[in-house]
């Protein structure tokens, strides 16, 4: 979902105890542990580092004392500021399994990680098993991991599934300022299977993905036009709140979105917290969301989702 980005880094130097220096090197040198974790009724393999599992528990336990009344998504999102941007972390191995990676994030895994932590905190569940259970629920169709085709590859799929599960809510149903209408036409994966390792190695997955794409064909969703992101606090744009999950829509053939992140307000203007492929780290943009979007010629506007706290 990532596109070229044009934001200015505003990274906190105080990472609140998170040891994330030289994480990229650790990714290459640390042996990955694999274990069976009870996810629902079935045991599934989970790939993770010992540092990742320890960090999950620390973050969830620290939240009890530190978070206070701060929005959960904002609280956990800010814990990852400065973390390296790393793409394709979910494409490890030939068999689909749960990959937990908190030492390198892309735009999608950043949002998924933050939502999974927020869901654990909401439920007052603070073990690594709890986190794995919620990450599975968020990442896979109907919360069930089977094979590569069960992963929610397109954001439209991710949004619909997580809304059905009551994890997030599409706030466009509250009307203004959603003046744009997106008609979904997704087929990029089935049209370009050679670009995806799993589809290239398992051509039998392609028709399954194609059927899922066809099931989404023509669905319509309301969104905020890119030009309307210039509005200030006090206008209808104020219905977007700190911690809302935002998906940047695209008019690129066969795709629905190009990037996702978390919205926040600063000095009466909307900004974006996200894993930036341009700046190679998680950051809170100094430039406004509007300024950022105007540098993205293929972006058309945003859909907005609220974590159900």
Model pLDDT, residue 164: 97
268-308 per-position pLDDT tens digit: 999 999 999 999 999 999 999 999 999 999 999 999 999 99
Model pLDDT, residue 177: 83
Model pLDDT, residue 161: 98
Model pLDDT, residue 232: 87
Positions in the chain whose pLDDT score sits under 70: 1-44, 174-175
Model pLDDT, residue 10: 31
Model pLDDT, residue 22: 42
Model pLDDT, residue 11: 30
Burial 211-247 (b: 16+ CB within 10 A, else e): ebbeebeeeebbbbebebbbbeeeeebebbbbbbbbb
Model pLDDT, residue 44: 61
What is the distance between the alpha carbons of residues 50 and 240, in angstroms, rounded to a whole number? 37
207-232 per-position pLDDT tens digit: 999 999 999 999 999 999 999 999 98
């Amino acid at each position: 979902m990532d596109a070229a980005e044009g934001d200015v880094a505003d990274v906190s130097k105080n990472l609140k105890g998170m040891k994330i220096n030289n994480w990229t090197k650790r990714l290459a040198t640390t042996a990955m542990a694999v274990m069976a974790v009870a996810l629902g009724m079935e045991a599934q393999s989970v790939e993770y580092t010992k540092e990742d599992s320890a960090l999950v528990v620390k973050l969830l336990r620290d939240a009890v004392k530190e978070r206070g009344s701060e929005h959960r998504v904002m609280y956990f999102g800010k814990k990852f500021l400065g973390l390296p941007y790393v793409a394709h972390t979910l494409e490890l191995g030939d068999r689909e399994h749960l990959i937990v990676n908190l030492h390198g994030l892309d735009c999608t895994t950043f949002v998924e990680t933050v939502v999974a932590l927020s869901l654990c905190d909401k439920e007052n569940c603070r073990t690594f098993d709890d986190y794995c259970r919620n990450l599975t629920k968020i990442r896979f169709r109907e919360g069930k991991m089977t094979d590569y085709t069960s992963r929610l590859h397109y954001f439209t799929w991710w949004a619909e599934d997580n809304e059905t599960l009551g994890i997030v809510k599409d706030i466009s149903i509250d009307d203004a300022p959603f003046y744009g209408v997106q008609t979904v036409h997704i087929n990029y994966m089935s049209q370009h299977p050679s670009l995806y390792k799993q589809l290239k190695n398992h051509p039998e997955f392609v028709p399954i993905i194609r059927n899922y794409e066809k099931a989404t064909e023509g669905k319509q969703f309301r969104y905020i036009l890119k030009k309307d992101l210039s509005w200030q606090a006090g206008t209808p744009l104020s219905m977007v709140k700190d911690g809302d999950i935002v998906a940047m829509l695209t008019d690129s053939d066969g795709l629905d979105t190009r990037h996702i992140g978390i919205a926040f307000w600063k000095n009466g203007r909307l900004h974006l917290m996200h894993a930036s492929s341009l700046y190679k780290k998680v950051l809170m943009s100094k430039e406004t969301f509007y300024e950022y979007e105007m540098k993205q010629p293929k972006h058309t506007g945003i859909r907005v989702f609220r974590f159900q706290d």
